[in-house]
Structure 1
Amino acid sequence: MTPGRRISQWFRRFWLKAGALIISGWVLYNLVFPLRPVVGYAVQVKDRNGDLLHAFLSDDDKWRLYAELSEITPLLKRTFLRKEDKYFYYHPGINPLAVVRALAGNFSGARQRSGASTITMQVARMLERRPRTYGSKLIEMWTALRLESSYSKDEILQMYFNLIPFGGNIEGIKAASVLYFGKPPQLLSLAEITALTVIPNNPEQLNPQRKKALLTERNKWLKRFEKEGLFSVPVIRDALQEPLVAYRREAPKKAPHLSLRLRRELPAESRIVTTLRQAVQSQAEALVENYVNRIRGMGIRNAAVLVLNNETMEVEGYVGSADFENPVDGGQVDGVRAVRSPGSTLKPFVYAVAFDKGICIPKTVVNDVPSNFAGYQPENFDQKFKGPVTVEFALANSLNIPAVKVLNQLEVRTMVSQLTRAGFRTIEKQANDLGLSLVLGGCGTTLEEITRLYAVFARGGRYGPMNLTMDAGTGKSAMTLMSEEAAYMITQILSKSDRPDLPNNFDHTYRLPRIAWKTGTSYGKRDAWSIGYNRKYTIGVWVGNFSGAGVPELSGANIATPLLFELFNSIQYNSPKDWFERPDRLELRKVCSHSGAIPADGCTELVNGDAIEGISEFRRCEHLRWVFTDPDGTVSYCTYCLPAEGFEKRSYPNLAPELIAFYHKAKIPYLKIPPHNRMCQRMAEDGPPVIVSPQEGSEYYLQGDGGSEIQLLSQASHDAEYVTWFVNDRLLKKTDPVSPVFLVPPLGTVKISCVDSKGRNTDVVVFVKRF
């Protein structure tokens, strides 16, 4: 082997080893010190389809919106690459020919200098800003090579489009597209893209504020593209004719309350995809704003709306206030999460739980009469009483007394437990302080909690967590909060159209999809509620003032429900008419119309009533009482004094003492049991009168200094011709045994005594305080 050949082989081995060593060292260096650029992007809140709803500045106060690969269209790539780096897909991050050309031009003193920067080198410079020096250029080249070895070409191009400056604090193609043209990058035309390609070269001189200069530069590059054959002549001609409508716009601010909420709840996310449907959100925002403008003259200044998809438990519309930018009326308060008094909106849930406990069915009769619950004396909204009513009538007419009576049977702790399971956080915190007033709004809830609860009726009793983002439903399961039968019975009651809470003069219900709904008005007329649902949606509406100021005209029926109907008309106009199917375990039974119980002897007025098989109570009706009387019905007999002949067995209404007292006070006639045979010697052996009201040990809290009254009511033996009432051993009034007496009690410990005509006496002690 000749010496020349040996030297040649040595050099070949040397360069092979050196190359392998360099490559190994390069790979090892990148493994030990991986290039992982950290870029702080502005927070984007998107709808379920990925369209931008709201944007927030980045931590360094830049409008730097991250663009997905799908948002970078082929037209964008083609135009930018032709202008900035047409050999991008062919070089390793550095273009040697461009470097040589730049050096030659710079050293020759040419007027127009070239930096030889590839797109990869521009990314390196934008990732870490440095002065424009030769040393900085070398660092950029080094970083560009590292980028090329760590990322694909498309990933590097995506970085470029996300970092490129467009003047001021706007960075990235998406931010420029949205803020200059009001549209996402994928909708940009060739003329708009070309305008954006020229801005980064000189953002101070070429920007929408200098429209003439930008237009001139745009057209110059369009003609250049035509000359180079990048686009066809007709396409270029159309682009040249397109007017330049670029100007600095505000960032999108749709769904501001939800956007702020999610930004706080998800601080690590820069791209939040909500469950909102932009069409539903826009309709809801517009309807709320217009509606509040119409009722502002009444002194009602705000409203909030939540639109929930029952099938997925995803929120499709979220309006926290009528105008987010209105600081006077608390526009930035999120009415969806504000704690307010729920009024009567919890009544359906109380009845549903009672149905499941077997306490009642829709046809069960409850007395809507003045009642005292250990000092708590609720009244109806209209301060009137209806007497005996069915549960379904009581719910449809939102009567207060029957709801309190049913809750009293259930016990407050049972309801608090159920509401806590349903996610009522404020009620959970107030659990130890809540009483029977809970069902009438004596607690704190939010529109979010109530709307989610009504979705349970629409979902056949299944409760599911509410989803605000598209990935929020992962791993969450539903639980059964009530039976499907109870939910269906409540729905049937709330979907009746002959209800008193149908809005006055509302003439657009013919377009309304079939819905079930419930209204509510808080004490002092501070909050108006209307919650409606069908198979598809549950929509919650709150109307009022965030200041808490009451308005005489404010009511759920006439103020909140019209907005609810408008929302359903808008969101579900011409929707399918499908309705809920009747559950299999719901049986139809014959019940007595006077009690709602299974008919007994003498029950002649029967109706069909829904009941839950194996759950609903199966007791016999006791609305009638059989009494022995003389043939004229003027005297009644007991078995002790019943004559051998000359008597009849007759039925009389078996009325509760509270109902008798109501009939007496309202002067409503009713069929009374004849007085007992006065000749009966056994009556003298009967006990003293029973004081039905007030009850022993009751505490009364009376408001103010006015004449708040409590009711005195007794139940005496038939031989008692009259009873006499005493208060603290002082005479109050003498009256017949069944008539109520009303007393303005003194403060402190009060002894109340009742003495019948036979001298038999009963005492009770109550305690009276003032607020």
Structure 2
Amino acid sequence: MLDRLFPLPPAPRYSPIVLAADGSVLHAFLNPTQKWRMKTELAEITPALQQAIIHKEDRYFRYHFGVNPVAIVQAAGRNLFGKGRTTGASTITMQVARLLEPKERTFGNKLQEMLRAVQLEAHYSKAEILQLYLNLVPYGGNIEGVKSAALFYFQQPPDYLSLAQTVTLAIIPNQPRVLVLGKNNDRILAERNRWLRQFQRERLFPNQDVEDAINEPLDAQRHAAPTLAPHLARRLVAQRAGQPIIHSTLRRAPQAKAEDLTQNYVRRLRELGISQAAVLVVNNRTRAVEAYVGSADFQDAAGSGQVDGVRAVRSPGSTLKPFLYALAVDKGIVTPKQKLPDVPTNFSGFRPENFDKSCAGEVTVERALTYSLNIPAVRVLADVGVPVFTDKLRAAGFKSVAKAAPRLGLSTILGGCGATLEELTGLYAALADGGRWRAVRLTSRVTSRAAPLPRRKEPATSERKSSGSPLSRGEGGRGGEVSSGGEALVSPAAAFLITDILAQRTRPDLPMGYQNSRHLPKIAWKTGTSYGRRDAWSIGYNADYTIGVWVGNFNGQGSPALTGADIASPLLFDLFNTLAYNSPNRWAVPPATLDFRLVCAETGLVPGEHCPNQLIDYYLPGTSSARHCEHQKEALVSADGAVAYCRACVPATGFRRQLFPNPLPEVLAFREAQGLPSSRLPPHNPACQLVRTDGGTGAALAITSPLDHAEYVLDRKDKQQMLLSCAAGSEVRQVFWYVNDRFLRAAAATERVFFRPPSGTVKISCADDHGRNVDIQLQVAEL
């Protein structure tokens, strides 16, 4: 009934603070009334602080019901007869009532204050009321509460203060405008020692502790509020509005070091037109984020320093390639030593180029990934399937990919999608954890939400155990714990193979190899550079940590010097060398699902009949392709090697068996276009009467120029011509070109043919001398 007529006051409005994993304050904010009022938790109220405050302010605090009648009578006598010091006989509980609802000091307001004190005692334990008092007491200026004062003046939480510091904070609230730390330290020192002597006489603390406290100098100055991890702090405060204390997973030392390294490194890049960087450090075992650097300098307005680079959606460049190759391993498409074509290729109108604009002909999967070659990666994505790839990325928390998935194509693997540093670092942490993905964690537990004074139904007692705090109750307890589950994105075997490949690349900061620097951590790492050199990435991991680095400009401006290997990697190595120096260097071991097999050194496939050079390669039994190598083909040729025979026309004598290279048509065409030595099968016996329709024995025929389904605009005045070229098997000597089903001309298989196409829809056909043909269609316009 009393609560309805006399409702409890609203909860105090605390300053949001973000704590590190060890409980120290990383970042603090002003409360909505522009005061520093940091919430003191029950565990931070030490016995020394309780004794000093209670003995000084309200010796009978633990025994009265909010109002001390004896003290009131004594105070009334002193005030009435003018004997002794004039006092108001306020208990700690009455002071809490006044601090919650400041009013002019009148007799009526005093009575209301007493009534409120009795009400508070009915609802809360003594420990909670003392906690509330310590959260509201003034310390001069806009500083309120013992925790705020401890952090601002002593740079320590209340439970880390010495006895001298504790007593100092206990005496200031009575005269906050006179006893100003940093200005009146001599006066405060004398007052502190006077109270310490009084506590000594009353045997409140051991004599030696008091003597040590008296001899302790007072060197208190107001310090700036802690401002580590500003981007994460604002993110968490926005997500958990109303929570006065947020427990993050960050570790203070790694966070401070990461911020310093990032700021100093970017300062050296400014002359290159590069102004920003972001860093994320993840503990692989717990997925807890231990360092979070959103920008090089939060205060850098010119460089948009308040933008959070950890959450900014950018082009990921080549950073998704390791994950793609891991999927391809699981699907049996590739193994590490298998060779992939690295030649100019038209993927239905999309013609990717390698970063250095060159091609190697054929490369192993290991080399394609290590050197981040684009053309082999696009080919592998075409084999895996874009929907399969994007579905896995969606499962790994890639929000931009999930939204754009229906529109994404083969360019996705080259950075043609959006991703954040947080998403990419989490993906690499999955590779470090055997392919199992779990979302990275930013908070270590759920904290209570501030709320108005609740009404308790249980009867009040003099002392009640409480896990919460007065005026701020909610669902407490542990939260955000590590889950033993997760999403299995790739198999442990695939994750190991990719890790093994990424760890083989020589680190530029260790030109003589990792083995010569045993105190530095061994890592697997991958770089990426977006189109236009707008984003440079470098992400590395070992058994303990995954660290992601992004370098660039928040306005999207590119820089000629901006590449992942040259610009982002040095910062990655600095971070690893600092955070994991002299670590155990535990490394991944091959899972039982992996095995070894002999493969052909020329193709990386299971050795065929003509594979003399072999080497050992990893594979997944029952999954990896068992296709046999056919890099050489045996043919029946005349004694002089001029013609080749089929089984139908081979003579009884005068022929021999000879091995000829049997590369893919596009690889053969590339080698010949580059002037590299190549050997083609001689033309078929012209006297053979068998009409061939390919019969499945020849390689595929492909038109390499022009592009299928492409649109061309030609200048009528310049009389521009169009190039015709094809890729054919080694047995093909001659091809025949047709335009709109009309014969154009015959040409050698490697000859480049030029012609003037008509306007509109144009059909281009090519047939070879083995009966194969291929058609494409394009649009031509003239200006």
Tell me the TM-score normalised to structure 1 length: 0.88
| Residues 249-268 of structure 1: pairs in structure 2 closer than 5 A | 249-268=223-242
| Residues 203-214 of structure 1: pairs in structure 2 closer than 5 A | 203-208=176-181, 210-211=183-184, 212-214=186-188
> Would the alpha carbon gap of residues 162 and 758 (structure 1) be closer, same or farther in structure 2, given more than 3 Å must change?
closer
- 2 CA distance for matches of 1:464 and 1:769? 52
| Residues 1-20 of structure 1: pairs in structure 2 closer than 5 A | none
Among residues 150, 169, 188, which one is paired with 1:196 in the alignment? 169
Match of residue 641 from structure 1:
649
User: In the alignment, does 2:174 pair up with 1:167?
Assistant: no
1:337 is displaced (CA, Å) by 0.5
Match of residue 157 from structure 1:
130
User: In the alignment, does 2:480 pair up with 1:473?
Assistant: yes
> Would the alpha carbon gap of residues 742 and 360 (structure 1) be closer, same or farther in structure 2, given more than 3 Å must change?
farther
| Residues 358-369 of structure 1: pairs in structure 2 closer than 5 A | 358-369=332-343
Amino acid at match of 2:63: Y
- 1 CA distance for matches of 2:532 and 2:525? 22
Contact 1:710 1:745 in 2 (8 A): no
- 1 CA distance for matches of 2:251 and 2:760? 61
Among residues 557, 560, 565, which one is paired with 1:552 in the alignment? 560
Q: Which has the higher contact order (CA 8 A, sep 6+)?
A: 2
- 2 CA distance for matches of 1:704 and 1:125? 86
- 1 CA distance for matches of 2:680 and 2:639? 16
Match of residue 675 from structure 1:
683
SS in 2 for 1:98: helix
Q: Which moved more, 1:488-497 or 1:86-95?
A: 86-95
Match of residue 218 from structure 1:
192
User: In the alignment, does 2:243 pair up with 1:269?
Assistant: yes
User: In the alignment, does 2:304 pair up with 1:330?
Assistant: yes
1:242 is displaced (CA, Å) by 3.6
Deviations 1:465-491 (A, max 9, x none): 221111353595412111111111111
SS in 1 for 2:225: coil
| Residues 529-678 of structure 1: pairs in structure 2 closer than 5 A | 529-678=537-686
- 2 CA distance for matches of 1:455 and 1:635? 58
1:682 is displaced (CA, Å) by 4.1
> Would the alpha carbon gap of residues 38 and 672 (structure 1) be closer, same or farther in structure 2, given more than 3 Å must change?
same
Among residues 42, 53, 57, which one is paired with 1:80 in the alignment? 53
Amino acid at match of 2:649: C
> Would the alpha carbon gap of residues 653 and 743 (structure 1) be closer, same or farther in structure 2, given more than 3 Å must change?
farther
Contact 2:527 2:538 in 1 (8 A): yes
Amino acid at match of 2:480: G
1:233 is displaced (CA, Å) by 5.9
Match of residue 23 from structure 1:
none
Higher helix share: 1
Match of residue 182 from structure 1:
155
- 1 CA distance for matches of 2:559 and 2:536? 10
> Would the alpha carbon gap of residues 769 and 91 (structure 1) be closer, same or farther in structure 2, given more than 3 Å must change?
farther
Deviations 1:284-322 (A, max 9, x none): 112111211222222211111111111111111111111
- 1 CA distance for matches of 2:729 and 2:59? 106
> Would the alpha carbon gap of residues 689 and 106 (structure 1) be closer, same or farther in structure 2, given more than 3 Å must change?
closer
| Residues 257-656 of structure 1: pairs in structure 2 closer than 5 A | 257-471=231-445, 472-474=479-481, 477-498=485-506, 502=508, 510=517, 511-656=519-664
> Would the alpha carbon gap of residues 135 and 743 (structure 1) be closer, same or farther in structure 2, given more than 3 Å must change?
farther
> Would the alpha carbon gap of residues 253 and 308 (structure 1) be closer, same or farther in structure 2, given more than 3 Å must change?
same
Contact 2:370 2:501 in 1 (8 A): yes
SS in 2 for 1:272: strand
Match of residue 703 from structure 2:
693
- 1 CA distance for matches of 2:77 and 2:334? 96
- 1 CA distance for matches of 2:101 and 2:385? 67
> Would the alpha carbon gap of residues 225 and 748 (structure 1) be closer, same or farther in structure 2, given more than 3 Å must change?
farther
Contact 2:534 2:562 in 1 (8 A): yes
Amino acid at match of 1:765: Q
> Would the alpha carbon gap of residues 317 and 769 (structure 1) be closer, same or farther in structure 2, given more than 3 Å must change?
farther
| Residues 692-731 of structure 1: pairs in structure 2 closer than 5 A | 692-694=702-704, 698-700=708-710, 712-713=725-726, 715=728, 722-723=734-735, 725=737
Structure 2: segments with no counterpart, 5+ residues: 446-478
- 1 CA distance for matches of 2:33 and 2:660? 84
1:590 is displaced (CA, Å) by 1.3
Amino acid at match of 2:618: D
- 1 CA distance for matches of 2:732 and 2:209? 108
- 1 CA distance for matches of 2:274 and 2:193? 54
Contact 2:529 2:535 in 1 (8 A): yes
1:749 is displaced (CA, Å) by 3.1
- 2 CA distance for matches of 1:484 and 1:36? 58
Contact 1:690 1:762 in 2 (8 A): no
Amino acid at match of 1:149: A
SS in 2 for 1:137: helix
SS in 2 for 1:668: coil
> Would the alpha carbon gap of residues 759 and 45 (structure 1) be closer, same or farther in structure 2, given more than 3 Å must change?
closer
1:62 is displaced (CA, Å) by 2.2
User: In the alignment, does 2:764 pair up with 1:752?
Assistant: yes
1:60 is displaced (CA, Å) by 2.5
Larger Rg: 1
Match of residue 25 from structure 2:
52
SS in 2 for 1:470: strand
> Would the alpha carbon gap of residues 66 and 631 (structure 1) be closer, same or farther in structure 2, given more than 3 Å must change?
same
1:514 is displaced (CA, Å) by 1.4
Match of residue 40 from structure 2:
67
> Would the alpha carbon gap of residues 233 and 282 (structure 1) be closer, same or farther in structure 2, given more than 3 Å must change?
same
SS in 1 for 2:389: helix
Tell me the TM-score normalised to structure 2 length: 0.87
- 1 CA distance for matches of 2:273 and 2:196? 58
Q: Which moved more, 1:454-463 or 1:618-627?
A: 618-627
Q: How many pairs does the alignment contain?
A: 740
Match of residue 104 from structure 1:
77
Deviations 1:604-658 (A, max 9, x none): 1111111112111112222222210123433211223211112112221112211
Deviations 1:700-743 (A, max 9, x none): 367999999876215499685x5565767999987422345588
> Would the alpha carbon gap of residues 196 and 711 (structure 1) be closer, same or farther in structure 2, given more than 3 Å must change?
farther
Q: Which moved more, 1:736-745 or 1:621-630?
A: 736-745
Contact 2:694 2:772 in 1 (8 A): no
Contact 2:634 2:660 in 1 (8 A): yes
Contact 2:714 2:781 in 1 (8 A): no
Contact 2:701 2:772 in 1 (8 A): no
SS in 2 for 1:208: coil
Match of residue 121 from structure 1:
94
Match of residue 5 from structure 1:
none
> Would the alpha carbon gap of residues 745 and 446 (structure 1) be closer, same or farther in structure 2, given more than 3 Å must change?
farther
Match of residue 736 from structure 1:
748
- 1 CA distance for matches of 2:778 and 2:168? 86
1:168 is displaced (CA, Å) by 2.1
Amino acid at match of 2:112: I
> Would the alpha carbon gap of residues 67 and 386 (structure 1) be closer, same or farther in structure 2, given more than 3 Å must change?
same
1:235 is displaced (CA, Å) by 4.5
> Would the alpha carbon gap of residues 657 and 153 (structure 1) be closer, same or farther in structure 2, given more than 3 Å must change?
same
User: In the alignment, does 2:772 pair up with 1:765?
Assistant: no
Contact 2:164 2:214 in 1 (8 A): yes
Q: Percent identity?
A: 49
- 2 CA distance for matches of 1:703 and 1:68? 73
SS in 1 for 2:262: helix
Match of residue 448 from structure 2:
none
- 1 CA distance for matches of 2:295 and 2:431? 26
Deviations 1:477-522 (A, max 9, x none): 4121111111111111111034xx7469799982431111111111
> Would the alpha carbon gap of residues 763 and 262 (structure 1) be closer, same or farther in structure 2, given more than 3 Å must change?
closer
- 2 CA distance for matches of 1:395 and 1:110? 90
1:53 is displaced (CA, Å) by 0.9
